[in-house]
Amino acid sequence: MRWLVVTTSVLALAASAVGAGPVARADDDMGARVAAADSYLATRPGVVGYVLRDRKTGAVYRNAHATDLVWTASTIKLAMVVDLLSRQRSGSITLTDADNRLIAAMLHSSDDDAADTLWSRYGGVDHQAYNKDFPAYGMTGLRPQRGFTNTFPYWGFQKATTDDLDRLINYTLTRLNPADTASIVDQLQHVDLDQQWGVWGAGPAMAPGNKDGWSLEDHGWVVNTVGFAGKGQRYTLAVMNDLGGDGGYDDGVATTTHLSELLLAGRDAG
């Protein structure tokens, strides 16, 4: 069996990172959806890890590849935004209007130049400031990668697991200042047209929002998505598709989007 419904003690461990939730209960519809999703993934190129969380019931569904270390691509920009807003709330930095426009550009269109500017401006002289903070947001498996750029660590060359992205999106929804959470939710629900895939596959009735990431790495394409769907962001979903040499960007977009559709489209949104 390629998926697990995580309850009781495992949820208790996760609660330390994302906040306590209700005890999970049996959900035959979701079980059937997960089985259909796994059957679909068996036909698709590359390797896919996913973590689906029902924040209302506490149920968590993750497949065997949720712990694989994969290039983050631009999904790490969400962690950067969380860090910047958290540091501003603590008083350790003061974001300017220009900074806030760069944050919006990272979320709306995954702007790399904006990420570069903010990484340089708030990364510290040793470039370690972000990476020192990321574990507090659930990114405990994140590993910066050497040998690809003169700047180390650098946002564009890091690896993480799907579990890391699951913890990050749930931290974003539950542990930030409510105004910051609301701002991020709104921005992820109004991303640019070329970002409307992945978790967006849940369909408009589910009011999805997502941060996507894709990159052609040293061994092939990586196409990732992390976000939420449903009333009050009931469901969160993180997906990492490591295609290697088996497929390209279009394959990854199709896989992550249809996976999201199978898991979430038409689901009870409340």
DSSP 101-161: HHHHHHHHH--HHHHHHHHHHHS-TTS-HHHHHGGGGT-TT-EE--SS-SSSS-TTSEEE-
- For residue 270, what pLDDT is reported? 72
129-147: string of b/e by CB count within 10 Å (b at 16+)? bbbebbeebbbebbebbee
Burial class of residue 226 in the structure, from the number of CB atoms within 10 Å of its CB (0-12 exposed, 13-18 middle, 19+ buried): buried
User: Position 267: which residue type?
Assistant: R
Q: Which residue has the higher pLDDT, 11 or 81?
A: 81
Beta bridge partners of 241: 48, 223
* Whether the predicted pLDDT of 188 surpasses 80: yes
* Whether the predicted pLDDT of 190 surpasses 70: yes
* Whether the predicted pLDDT of 24 surpasses 80: no
pLDDT per residue as tens digits for the range 241-258: 999 999 999 999 999 999
What is the rounded average pLDDT of the residues 44-72?
A: 98
* Whether the predicted pLDDT of 192 surpasses 60: yes
What is the percent of the chain where pLDDT is above 90? 89
pLDDT-based confidence at residue 19 (cuts at 50, 70, 90) = very low
What is the rounded average pLDDT of the residues 127-137?
A: 98
Q: In this structure, are residues 214 and 252 in contact, taking their beta carbons and an 8 Å threshold?
A: yes
- Angle, helix 76-90 to helix 178-188, in steps of 10 degrees: 150
What pTM does this model have? 0.91
Phi, psi dihedrals of residue 67, rounded to the nearest 5° = -100, 0
What is the rounded average pLDDT of the residues 80-98?
A: 98
- For residue 10, what pLDDT is reported? 35
- For residue 268, what pLDDT is reported? 80
When the pLDDT of each residue in the chain is averaged and rounded to a whole number, the result is 92
pLDDT-based confidence at residue 182 (cuts at 50, 70, 90) = very high
CATH topology of domain 3-264: Beta-lactamase (3.40.710)
Q: In this structure, are residues 99 and 121 in contact, taking their beta carbons and an 8 Å threshold?
A: yes
Query: Which of 19-28, 96-105, 224-233 is the least confident region?
Result: 19-28
* Whether the predicted pLDDT of 169 surpasses 90: yes
- For residue 222, what pLDDT is reported? 98
User: Position 270: which residue type?
Assistant: G
What is the rounded average pLDDT of the residues 80-109?
A: 98
C-alpha to C-alpha distance for 21 and 42, rounded to whole angstroms: 31
- For residue 26, what pLDDT is reported? 65
C-alpha to C-alpha distance for 260 and 254, rounded to whole angstroms: 10
